Amino acid sequence: MSVAVGLVGAGVMGSEHARILREDTPGATLAGVCDADPRRAAMAACGSPVYSDPLEMIRSNNIDAVLIASPDATHAELVMACLEAGKPVLCEKPLAATAKQALAIVELEMSKARRLVQVGYMRRFDLAYQLLKESFDSGEIGKPRIVHNVHRNPVAPEWMTGSMSITNAFVHEIDITRWLLNTELTTVRVTSMQNGDPLVIEVCTSDDVVITNEINMNCRYGYHVHAEIVGEDGVASLPSMPSRVVHKTGQQILPYPTYWVPRFVEAYKAQTKAWIKTIQTGESNEGASAWDGYITTAVAEQIIEGDKDSKIHLCLPPCPSFYS
Ligand code: ISE
């Protein structure tokens, strides 16, 4: 049986998800698209029904599961509606705008006694990150001491305002580091350059690994994500990404993508396939749970509310058995 997916949001990510659902996800059908802009929705829908009210689409009998790719502030309410309707939902990161909203999602999901929420931290499905995790899990590089993360965008998207370099960008490093090292974060110190960009964020984990993070929203040269685990017996890093070498004007050039979709397109596809398989078979996948989404939002919130330039001691509750 093909899973009929309703997509909320047809912007940069939404239109990409629509394409992946239409062309690259066996077992799924794009069964509806909802966006505030009906023309944009129709373009992404490519002939499937267009909705103007996301709640109507979520509740429709023609929709089995929902993919949310609308603006960050709308996520929590839409995920709650999916839970109320008993429908599986893949929500783009972040899960919610506040830790309180994210916790309400966790509580509602637990009350339904069924895992329905997956959060779109797609780096978990990136082959290079998976191999990095394998190096750590296999013990090949020994006990980890340091992780270096670099997250650079050429120019901050125009919708990126205020603390979104933390709530929308750095949340990837929070999630991927917890997943890579299978650990919890304990302290954070943020060093902010003049106008808040770039940020240098130092994090410690419960097993004394130090994580350095450069979050740079305006590096100019391209979209570039890098990670390296320094272990006691060796170092494992992400490789240069598959690209092409251009020989031109006396130079050899290895081009960078201009934004994140080309870099992570295979991860987005693998994430959607895994989500659909989980819906069809009930088998779990590597994706981030509502609990992971809650922890990530809680860490981001505590950083934003914490004292700049001083060490923030994170206060995170233990993981309920429902999620372990
Ligand atoms: C964007 O929203 C994303 O989700 C990308 O994955 C991230 O790398 C980028 O910094 C964000 O702005």
Q: What is the pLDDT of residue 162?
A: 85
pTM more than 0.85: yes
Q: What is the pLDDT of residue 195?
A: 80
Q: What is the pLDDT of residue 285?
A: 98
- Which regions of the chain are under pLDDT 70? none
Q: Is the CB of 122 under 6 A from ligand 1?
A: no
d(CA 133, CA 36): 39
Q: Look at residue 302 and tell me if it is in a domain.
A: no
Q: What is the pLDDT of residue 242?
A: 73
Q: Are residues 214 and 177 in the same domain?
A: yes
Which residue has its alpha carbon closest to ligand 1 atom 11? 169
Count of domains observed in the chain: 2
Q: Look at residue 301 and tell me if it is in a domain.
A: no
Domain extent at residue 68: 3-122+266-295
Q: What is the pLDDT of residue 194?
A: 72
Structure tokens at 20: 């992946």
The DSSP symbol for 307 reads: P
Q: Are residues 259 and 135 in the same domain?
A: yes
Q: Is the CB of 168 under 6 A from ligand 1?
A: yes
Q: Is the CB of 153 under 6 A from ligand 1?
A: yes
Q: Is the CB of 169 under 6 A from ligand 1?
A: yes
> Domain containing 59 — which CATH number?
3.40.50.720
Q: What is the pLDDT of residue 244?
A: 87
d(CA 186, CA 252): 43
Q: Look at residue 320 and tell me if it is in a domain.
A: no
Q: Look at residue 236 and tell me if it is in a domain.
A: yes
Q: What is the pLDDT of residue 243?
A: 80
Q: Is the CB of 236 under 6 A from ligand 1?
A: no
CB half-sphere exposure, 223, CA atoms < 13 A: 13
Q: What is the pLDDT of residue 125?
A: 98
Q: What is the pLDDT of residue 65?
A: 98
d(CA 130, CA 267): 10
Report how far ligand 1's centroid is from the alpha carbon of 1 (Å).
33
d(CA 26, CA 60): 22
Structure tokens at 200: 């240098």
Q: Are residues 144 and 34 in the same domain?
A: no
Q: Are residues 230 and 181 in the same domain?
A: yes
Q: Are residues 128 and 256 in the same domain?
A: yes
Which pLDDT tens digit goes with each residue over 73-106? 999 999 999 999 999 999 999 999 999 999 999 9
Q: Look at residue 113 and tell me if it is in a domain.
A: yes
d(CA 303, CA 295): 12
